[in-house]
Amino acid sequence: MKKAILFVLILAMLAGLCACGSTAPQATPAPAPVPESTPEPASPAEKTAAPDEAAETPEAAAEAQEASETNILVLYFSRTGEQYEVGVIEKGNTAIVAEMIGEATGADLYEILPADDHYPMTYKELTDVALQEQREGARPAYAGELPDMSSYDTIFIGAPVWWGDWPMILYTVFESTPLSGKTLVPFSTHAGSGLSGFDRSLAAAYPDCTIAKGLAIAGSDAQNDPDQVRSSVAGWLSELGF
Ligand SMILES: Cc1cc2nc3c(=O)[nH]c(=O)nc-3n(C[C@H](O)[C@H](O)[C@H](O)COP(=O)(O)O)c2cc1C
């Protein structure tokens, strides 16, 4: 009997020892304490401006724009589609020359577009429409409003030669746009007729302007030999003092 009691006691002691060595179940960690007020991410308006961002106020932007303004404008008319000797083109011959003048002088560019673009994209049909307009002395309307000319002292005016003259839409511009006292510089692209009297007709339209020496560029050169044309444009501009 004593032995049995002793055995039970030993078992009980062993059981107690095992229980002490076993891994107790992990207590679920309490949620981390949340700070009373979590700071919100800064809204864009509250972001601290970087030094150069700070300088970009509306006033600073307006001043920068004013400083970069030019007093030179390149006003031009030009057609894409099928053109003489160059096939179907995506940028007009005159537009190419206009852009070169713009690049070299920092001038603003403005393309005269017809209000109602009735000009065919095929060469033969275009020549028919243009001839008809010339015979009628038409004044085709241009789209939108031209830029404020009071900001410019020198205006380059360019167009393709159409039947030995400015396209009639240029006369619409001349007759509706006072340019007294300014220097006007004609340029053409053509297929053999050169400047075709652009300078004389410009002088007749603007008797109180200075008409500077013009430039005539073959349309096929503008399209196919831009380096040579760029160099002609540069030489001419330098003669004019640009
Ligand atoms: C309606 C029309 C009439 C033209 N008349 C002449 C002309 O009389 N003399 C000439 O040399 N080229 C003439 N051309 C050729 C254009 O002047 C030449 O292709 C020009 O570079 C086209 O320029 P653009 O692509 O800027 O319109 C005429 C072209 C057209 C479409």
Any domain includes 21: no
Residue nearest to atom 4 of ligand 1 (CA): 162
pLDDT in the model for residue 65: 45
| 57 falls within a domain | no
User: What atom in ligand 1 is closest to the CA of residue 193?
Assistant: 11
Indicate the number of domains in the chain. 1
Which structural domain range is residue 167 located in? 69-240
Q: Checking DSSP bridges between strand 87-89 and strand 81-83, what pairing results, if any?
A: antiparallel
Residues 128 and 146: their CA atoms lie apart, in Å, by 28
CATH code for the domain in which residue 198 is found: 3.40.50.360
Residues with a CB atom less than 6 Å from ligand 1:
78-79, 83-84, 92-95, 126-127, 130, 160-164, 189-193, 219
229 falls within a domain: yes
Q: Measured on CA atoms in the order 189, 195, 197, 199, is the torsion positive or negative?
A: positive
Rg of the chain taking only CA atoms, in angstroms: 40
pLDDT digits (tens, 9 = 90+) for 47-58: 333 334 444 565
Report which ligand 1 atom has the smallest distance to the Cα of 79. 27
Q: Which residue has the higher pLDDT, 31 or 118?
A: 118
What is the pTM (predicted TM-score) of this model? 0.76
* 59 is a domain residue: no
Q: What is the pLDDT of residues 200-210, one digit of tens each?
A: 999 999 999 99
Mean pLDDT to the nearest integer, 142-168: 98
Contact 190, 163 (CB under 8 A): no
2 in a structural domain = no
β-strand pairing of 72-76 with 154-160: parallel
Of all atoms in ligand 1, which is nearest to the CA of residue 76? 26
Average pLDDT of the chain, as a whole number = 81
Distance from the alpha carbon of residue 8 to the mean position of ligand 1, in angstroms: 121
Residue 203 within any structural domain of the chain: yes
The CA 158 to ligand 1 mean position distance, Å, reads 12
Give the pLDDT mean for 115-139.
97
| Higher pLDDT, residue 187 or 8 | 187
183: in domain: yes
Q: For residue 228, give the amino acid letter.
A: Q
57-95 pLDDT tens trace: 656 645 544 554 899 999 999 999 999 999 999 999 999
Q: How far is CA 189 from the centre of its chain?
A: 24
Ligand 1 atom 3 nearest Cα: 162
In a domain, 31, yes or no: no
**For residue range 13-22, what is the model confidence (pLDDT) as tens digits?**
333 333 333 3
